[in-house]
A and B are shown apart, each in its own frame.
Chain A
Amino acid sequence: MLAYIARRIVYVIPIVISVALVCFLLVHITPGDPLVAVLPADASQELAAQLRAAYGFDRPLPVQFGLWLLRALHGDLGNSIATGRPVLAEVMRAVGNTVTLAIAAAIIGFTMGILLGLIAGYFRETWIDKLATSFAIAGVSVPHYWLGMLLVIIFSVELNWLPAVGAGPGGSGAWAWDWAHLQYLVLPAITTSVIPMGIVTRTVRALTGDILSQDFVEALRAKGLRETGVFRHVIKNAAPTALAVMGLQLGYMLGGSILIETVFSWPGSGFLLNSAIFQRDLPLLQGTILVLALFFVFLNLLVDIAQAAIDPRIKRG
């Protein structure tokens, strides 16, 4: 097991370097001026050159990448061009808010997804299955930003039950786990949860149906095991695949949703990315993409290790 973990960690190193290179190049090869946030189009040529030099954009691209990577390895992602604030602090604060949202959405989405999937798989080809599958299809198909707006219209504008935007009465900096703050989380969390809910439902339904049709289930029943006991075996066999799917979904949610966070003005990583893109704030954009990509890489690593722990066949491979 330890050798397997070590091997997986070694694999991560080239991935991280590639991710850093790709995210650096992607934001630099797109057209437009990287200083657009601080340099109006009417600035003089002399001023533009002065600022380009001050921000180091006059250096060759490989030198810029080398310096950026060196600083990044020391935990310094530079300062935002638009705000002057350190990128790492900005990204970590936003990621913290996205994690809060992702966990809330995961609790809703995974719980609902597993329940609906198990029910649909167990009652396959019945009206119960069709109802649960309809929920799953709707969850995957409905554009989530549209659903977000719909929920806001119903629960905020018409019923006035829940706030429409923001992350608490005093912002996320004053976050507390009480209803006054949690109510701000309800609508974005439900909106974020619908896609994972749909995907997990479909996955678990397929797995449950598939496992229930296998011979060993018949054998278990023939041995006189009660349905709850049979179900325990079904869950155990479905768990590795379901876990992998949920891990990926959690990764997507931790990456933040530009659309959902913008619709709800939720100050997470998606909201930050949106701002960085529109302000063409390259250090912030690079830093945010890098941190999110690393999250994904390490989450996949954790899922791989967890899968290996659950299913001994994996580490043998």
Chain B
Amino acid sequence: MLIEKTTRAALIAALALATAAAWPRAASAETVLRIGMTAADIPRTLGQPDQGFEGNRFTGLTMYDALTMWDLSSADKPSVVIPGLATEWKVDDADKTKWTFKLRPGVTFHDGSPFNADAVIWNVEKVLKQDAPQFDASQVGVTASRMPTLASAKKIDDMTVELTTKEPDSFLPINLTNLFMASSAKWQALYDKAEGADAKAKSQAAWAAFAKDASGTGPWKMSSFTPRERLELARNASYWDKARVPKVDKMVLLPMPEANARTAALLSGQVDWVEAPAPDALPEIKQRGFVLYTNEEPHVWPWQFSRVEGSPWNDIRVRKAANLCVDREGLKDGLLAGLMVPASGTFEPGHPWRGNPSFQIKYDKPAAQKLMQEAGYGPNKKLTVKVQTSASGSGQMLPLPMNEYLQQALAECYFDVQLDVIEWNTLFTNWRRGVKDPSANGSNATNVTYAAMDPFFALVRFLQSGMAPPVSNNWGFINNPKFDELVKKARQTFDPAARDTALAELHAASVDDAAFLYVAHDVAPRAMSPKVKGFVQPKSWFVDFSPVSMVQ
């Protein structure tokens, strides 16, 4: 009896001790969100990420802020530009190339240095002023091309800057979402300590050191970094936007370029979230209780037509027929297992830049056949067209099967589609060279997908005649005075609502002209553990990690 009592007392004491020991740990348990990215390497961490918008998503918008930012709070509404490190901005009434930006007070970088006008000028000059000590060629390409008209920055006072553009450009506030503010104080300290034969070498060394110990103003701070393997970010509890202080303590980003590896890591509990899971594993992912998120992305999977002399696509009836001959719903439900949104233009209804096109892009085979017959083609006289595409590539979805689907669909409307399949980087390079270059290899359409986040990338670079190669991506040399006029109007309309109306007019005109064969929008699938809560997938390439929480 005595032994029994002693044992029970010992057990109770042990239990109490164990509970006491476990209690503080449970109370302060660190919450960690682990994400498997599709990137093969951690995107650059020094402020201007590489690897396209996936880079911006993970190492841009997390650690850094820009003067203007995207609203990522809604899954239903289009993502629009909102104030970021600038609280307000306006263009000069007399000189439309000059803009005044008022900066957000009380913001500090992760290293404690203040964000002010000097920091803005320093960051503009890191990519635009070649003789500035902090000028870094490796950051120029991914930044300057995304804000093509920005020329310089000038300090008005500590919290006001003046930005100057090469020509009047109402898109500037949108373009500035791509210029992330890195800490000049932190960089200068690293520069002072850096070793190098000359100022350029010291600057490179300082940027290399900065990339390992980055400092921005974003909601996440760099915690530890192993190149090519993992980046750990810790919550920035003193983030200036209290509503966006991260809910989890730590976020771990892991590069996993192989879709099956990402999926296995999720299913085995090694990560909590994967980007783009293996498509054929989606039923199993759902069946095991994981959650799949998708939403329409500002992305277009098109055929861009050649419009040079002799191109069969110069006939609008042919362009419209191609757009009417594709059963996009069939493509979505069959080949892509639901992972696409049928495209009826660059922007879908509900988007502020959609407009009201009179040509409705839909599946109407009889109408397509009629248009082709009017254009002089038929079952016995097929129109041969050749499209250049790739077997894989960023944003290309399933390029070969999708093009074969189009090949079969268009055959019913008297098209004989030939595919010229080349390597992705080569296709991308040829895109820039244009249809007149020998690299086009006789093709009269190209299949390069594009991001449609801002007006320049979504419309201007393709539709404006001045953007023909080698200037930009008007691959097919579209030369439509109406487009040129509407681009000019949109760029010179500075009231945001009126600018959006002008952009909607431009978009509607491009749809009415069947400028492209519009096929699909990607839906950015991502799968998550049921422990992940609070995630909102916006209609954007970007997401906000701040509201995400983890339940135990």
The CA of A93 and the CA of B41, in the complex, are separated in Å by 14
Is B141 within 8 A of A165, CB to CB?
A: no
Is B228 within 8 A of A278, CB to CB?
A: no
The CA of A54 and the CA of B138, in the complex, are separated in Å by 9
List the A side residues contacting B470 at CB < 8 Å.
Answer: 45
Interface segment out of the listed B62-70, B84-92, B108-116, B427-435? B427-435
Kindly state whether residue A35 has any CB partner on chain B within 8 Å.
Answer: yes
List the B side residues contacting A54 at CB < 8 Å.
Answer: 137
| A85 with B208, Cβ < 8 A, contacts A157-B264, A263-B261 known | yes
Is A172 within 8 A of B457, CB to CB?
A: no
| A164 with B472, Cβ < 8 A, contacts A51-B137, A94-B228 known | no
Q: Which of B40, B142, B204, B431 contacts A271 (CB 8 A)?
A: B40
Q: Which residues A173-203 have CB closer than 8 A to chain B?
A: 173-174
Is B141 within 8 A of A43, CB to CB?
A: yes
Kindly state whether residue B151 has any CB partner on chain A within 8 Å.
Answer: no
Kindly state whether residue B461 has any CB partner on chain A within 8 Å.
Answer: yes
Q: Which of A42, A152, A264 contacts B461 (CB 8 A)?
A: A42
Is B40 within 8 A of A43, CB to CB?
A: no
Is B268 within 8 A of A164, CB to CB?
A: yes
Is B264 within 8 A of A156, CB to CB?
A: yes
Is A47 within 8 A of B258, CB to CB?
A: no
The CA of A81 and the CA of B137, in the complex, are separated in Å by 10
Beta-carbon contacts of B194-226 to A below 8 Å, as 1s and 0s? 000000000010011001000000000000001
Kindly state whether residue B378 has any CB partner on chain A within 8 Å.
Answer: no
Q: Which residues B266-282 have CB closer than 8 A to chain A?
A: 267-270
For the complex formed, measure the closest distance between the CB of A256 and the CB atoms of chain B, giving whole angstroms.
13
Beta-carbon contacts of A141-185 to B below 8 Å, as 1s and 0s? 000000001001100110010011111001111100000000000
The CA of A183 and the CA of B413, in the complex, are separated in Å by 58
* Contact size range, A: 35 or more
Is A47 within 8 A of B432, CB to CB?
A: no
Beta-carbon contacts of A43-64 to B below 8 Å, as 1s and 0s? 1110100110011000000000
The CA of A235 and the CA of B543, in the complex, are separated in Å by 63
Is A265 within 8 A of B254, CB to CB?
A: yes
Is A36 within 8 A of B425, CB to CB?
A: yes
- Chain A interface SS verdict (over half): loop
List the B side residues contacting A157 at CB < 8 Å.
Answer: 264, 267-268
List the B side residues contacting A163 at CB < 8 Å.
Answer: 268, 270
Kindly state whether residue A84 has any CB partner on chain B within 8 Å.
Answer: yes
Kindly state whether residue B76 has any CB partner on chain A within 8 Å.
Answer: no
Q: Select from chain B the residue with minimum beta-carbon distance to A161.
A: B268
Is A164 within 8 A of B265, CB to CB?
A: yes
The CA of A174 and the CA of B224, in the complex, are separated in Å by 11
Kindly state whether residue A128 has any CB partner on chain B within 8 Å.
Answer: no
| A272 with B228, Cβ < 8 A, contacts A42-B461, A54-B137, A265-B255 known | yes
Is A160 within 8 A of B268, CB to CB?
A: yes
Is B138 within 8 A of A81, CB to CB?
A: yes
List the B side residues contacting A36 at CB < 8 Å.
Answer: 425, 428-429
Is B140 within 8 A of A32, CB to CB?
A: no
Is A55 within 8 A of B229, CB to CB?
A: no
Kindly state whether residue A16 has any CB partner on chain B within 8 Å.
Answer: no
The CA of A81 and the CA of B431, in the complex, are separated in Å by 21
List the B side residues contacting A90 at CB < 8 Å.
Answer: 227-228
Q: Which residues B397-448 have CB closer than 8 A to chain A?
A: 422-423, 425-426, 428-429, 431-432, 439, 448
Is B50 within 8 A of A265, CB to CB?
A: no
Kindly state whether residue B376 has any CB partner on chain A within 8 Å.
Answer: no
Is A35 within 8 A of B228, CB to CB?
A: no
For the complex formed, measure the closest distance between the CB of A248 and the CB atoms of chain B, giving whole angstroms.
27
Kindly state whether residue A237 has any CB partner on chain B within 8 Å.
Answer: no
| A47 with B144, Cβ < 8 A, contacts A41-B428, A149-B260, A157-B264 known | yes
Is A152 within 8 A of B226, CB to CB?
A: no
Kindly state whether residue A262 has any CB partner on chain B within 8 Å.
Answer: yes
Is B257 within 8 A of A165, CB to CB?
A: no
Kindly state whether residue A274 has any CB partner on chain B within 8 Å.
Answer: yes
List the B side residues contacting A42 at CB < 8 Å.
Answer: 145, 432, 457, 461, 472-473
Q: Which of B44, B51, B227, B425 contacts A280 (CB 8 A)?
A: B425
Beta-carbon contacts of B35-68 to A below 8 Å, as 1s and 0s? 0100011001010001110000000000000000
The CA of A267 and the CA of B140, in the complex, are separated in Å by 28
| A263 with B144, Cβ < 8 A, contacts A36-B428, A171-B229 known | no
List the B side residues contacting A275 at CB < 8 Å.
Answer: 40-41, 228, 257
| A82 with B41, Cβ < 8 A, contacts A40-B145, A262-B258, A263-B260 known | yes
List the B side residues contacting A156 at CB < 8 Å.
Answer: 264, 267-268, 270
Is B226 within 8 A of A172, CB to CB?
A: yes
List the A side residues contacting B260 at CB < 8 Å.
Answer: 149, 152, 263
The CA of A90 and the CA of B137, in the complex, are separated in Å by 20
Q: Which residues A253-302 have CB closer than 8 A to chain B?
A: 262-265, 267, 271-272, 274-275, 278-280
Kindly state whether residue B481 has any CB partner on chain A within 8 Å.
Answer: no
The CA of A170 and the CA of B473, in the complex, are separated in Å by 43
Q: Which residues A202-217 have CB closer than 8 A to chain B?
A: none
For the complex formed, measure the closest distance between the CB of A13 and the CB atoms of chain B, giving whole angstroms.
30
List the B side residues contacting A47 at CB < 8 Å.
Answer: 140-141, 144-145
- Greatest chain A CB density within 10 A among B204, B229, B470 is at B229
Is B148 within 8 A of A44, CB to CB?
A: yes
List the A side residues contacting B204 at CB < 8 Å.
Answer: 79, 84
Is A164 within 8 A of B40, CB to CB?
A: no
Kindly state whether residue B124 has any CB partner on chain A within 8 Å.
Answer: no
List the A side residues contacting B227 at CB < 8 Å.
Answer: 83, 85, 90, 93
Is B208 within 8 A of A165, CB to CB?
A: no
List the B side residues contacting A171 at CB < 8 Å.
Answer: 226, 229-230
The CA of A171 and the CA of B138, in the complex, are separated in Å by 27
List the B side residues contacting A173 at CB < 8 Å.
Answer: 226, 229
Kindly state whether residue A39 has any CB partner on chain B within 8 Å.
Answer: yes
Kindly state whether residue A31 has any CB partner on chain B within 8 Å.
Answer: yes
Is A33 within 8 A of B268, CB to CB?
A: no
- Greatest chain A CB density within 10 A among B138, B144, B145, B230 is at B138
Is B50 within 8 A of A38, CB to CB?
A: yes
Kindly state whether residue A245 has any CB partner on chain B within 8 Å.
Answer: no
| A38 with B141, Cβ < 8 A, contacts A156-B268, A160-B268 known | yes
Q: Which of A31, A32, A86, A271 contacts B228 (CB 8 A)?
A: A271
For the complex formed, measure the closest distance between the CB of A143 and the CB atoms of chain B, giving whole angstroms.
13
With A42-B472, A45-B471 known, 10 other A-B pairs at CB within 8 A are: A32-B426, A39-B145, A42-B457, A47-B145, A51-B141, A156-B264, A160-B268, A160-B269, A263-B260, A279-B50
Give the 6 A-B CB pairs with smallest separation, nearest first: A43-B145, A54-B137, A275-B40, A39-B141, A171-B229, A32-B425
**What is A's interface to B at a CB cutoff of 8 Å?**
31-33, 35-45, 47, 50-51, 54-55, 79, 81-86, 90, 93-94, 149, 152-153, 156-157, 160, 163-167, 170-174, 262-265, 267, 271-272, 274-275, 278-280
5 A-B residue pairs with CB within 8 Å: A31-B439, A40-B52, A41-B429, A85-B208, A172-B229
**What is B's interface to A at a CB cutoff of 8 Å?**
36, 40-41, 44, 46, 50-52, 130, 137-138, 140-142, 144-146, 148, 204, 207-208, 211, 226-230, 254-258, 260-261, 264-265, 267-270, 422-423, 425-426, 428-429, 431-432, 439, 448, 457, 461, 470-473
